[in-house]
Structure 1
Amino acid sequence: MEQDLREPPVLPGEATRDEVRIGWLRQQLARLRKRLPLRRRLVGGAAHGLMSASAALIAYMPTQALNLREGFWSAITAIAVVQTEFRATRTMARDQFLGAATGGLIGLAVLSAVGQDLVAYAVAVILSLTACWLLNVASAGRLAGVTATIILLVPHAGTAQQMFGSRLFEVGWGVTVAIAVGWVATRMMRHPADGV
């Protein structure tokens, strides 16, 4: 009996062959990381912790000088974005900013159109994640849903528009700091003897 060597069609909702391969590679990388000697894991973890703490502090301190009530979002964003690999930092930065912008805009639109209740909130989350998928940045969907949640569920003193503006500024600032810290750290690791 002859074996069919053609690739099966990729159906909507199924992972593509590339996605399956990338998932397998991620698993292998995670497995290899777990096999690193304790000292290498300690050094790697400490380096990532130092980068994250530096980015968080640099992102947070100016928000206090500007009297922003929720400057902690800049620190949280910086920690979420900083990765030990600069390409990963850039990708995460893009996702964080696009997710915040998408979820915020959709949250505002839903709030303006139908008001603030649980059904409106659910609709905003669904629309936010769907929009990210349509924009081909599904990885930004989580933050889009979180931002829609903040717009529609978190009590705030000012208007929802002010909250959105503040949130977008804080995320944008945190992303900017994380990219800068990631870039500097990458340069330092590449040229440790040069000092820069």
Structure 2
Amino acid sequence: MNKAERLRIPAEIAIAALVAYLLGYWFTNLFPGYLPKIGGLWSAISAIVVTQATRRETTSSASLRILGSAIGAGTSAIYLTLLPFHPLGMAVAIFATVALCAAINVPSHGRLAAITVIVVMVTGSLDPKLSPGLNALLRLAESFIGTGVAVLAAGLWPGSNNQVGGDS
């Protein structure tokens, strides 16, 4: 593997994270009080998680990210609509989310769904006046932003069609 191949993935991840952060911040800033830095952070995390060594792997990771985020956002929105944030409640919501992923036969989505639960619930706890539904919807939208940036970067980036160090 040459030097350019070794640097491609770090560069792709860094640029995707930057672009996703800026877009997520901008988008979330359209909703006053909904913490645009969290929007940028969550978008950047999504871009980092989704970016893989090849376009095919990135696309596969994208579907995992979106479905997991949707399940986690939904579970946490329901919880926060019914009850206030509490760490024990968060653990119960994580359990329910991962169990739901297993029940609908997508157990590999459970971890990302659980992470989304934590982000939605902790963000909601920072300002309990935030609407649980809008908070969850924003976190899902930010996941879409970061995922979209990662997929776009993989599609445009030269050399991401082949696996680093070999072909796919």
- TM-score tier, shorter chain, comes to 0.7 to 0.9
Offset, 1:50: 1.2
1:175 equivalenced with 2:143 (yes/no): no
Structure with higher Rg: it is 1
* Residue identity matched to 1:51: E
Structure 2 residue corresponding to 1:69, chosen from 37, 47, 65: 37
In the TM superposition, 1:1-196 aligns within 5 A as 40=1, 42-66=3-27, 67=29, 68-70=36-38, 71-154=40-123, 155-157=125-127, 158-185=130-157
Q: Residues of 1 paired with 2:22 and 2:98: CA distance? A: 32
Offset, 1:43: 3.6
Q: Which runs of 5+ in 1 are unaligned?
A: 1-39, 191-196
TM-score, normalised to structure 2, is 0.78
- Whether the aligned pair in 2 keeps the contact of 1:104 and 1:147 (CA below 8 Å) is yes
Mean Cα deviation higher: 144-153 or 100-109: 144-153
Decide whether aligned partners of structure 1 residues 51 and 113 sit closer, same or farther in structure 2, where only a CA change above 3 A counts. Answer: same
* Residue identity matched to 2:37: R
TM-score, normalised to structure 1, is 0.68
Aligned length: 151
Decide whether aligned partners of structure 1 residues 187 and 49 sit closer, same or farther in structure 2, where only a CA change above 3 A counts. Answer: closer
Q: Residues of 2 paired with 1:172 and 1:110: CA distance? A: 22
* Residue identity matched to 2:139: R
- Whether the aligned pair in 1 keeps the contact of 2:23 and 2:145 (CA below 8 Å) is no
Q: Residues of 2 paired with 1:123 and 1:141: CA distance? A: 14
The percent identity for this pair of structures is 28
SS at structure 1 position matched to 2:157: helix
The higher relative CO (CA closer than 8 Å, separation ≥ 6) is in: 2
Offset, 1:89: 0.5
Q: Residues of 2 paired with 1:156 and 1:116: CA distance? A: 10
Q: Residues of 2 paired with 1:41 and 1:128: CA distance? A: 43
Q: Residues of 1 paired with 2:133 and 2:101: CA distance? A: 21
1:22-61 superposed Cα distances (whole Å, 9 cap, x missing partner): xxxxxxxxxxxxxxxxxx2744331101111121122122
Q: Residues of 2 paired with 1:113 and 1:142: CA distance? A: 23
Q: Residues of 1 paired with 2:158 and 2:134: CA distance? A: 36
Q: Residues of 1 paired with 2:14 and 2:42: CA distance? A: 14
| Match of residue 166 from structure 2 | none
| Match of residue 34 from structure 1 | none
Q: Residues of 1 paired with 2:97 and 2:161: CA distance? A: 38
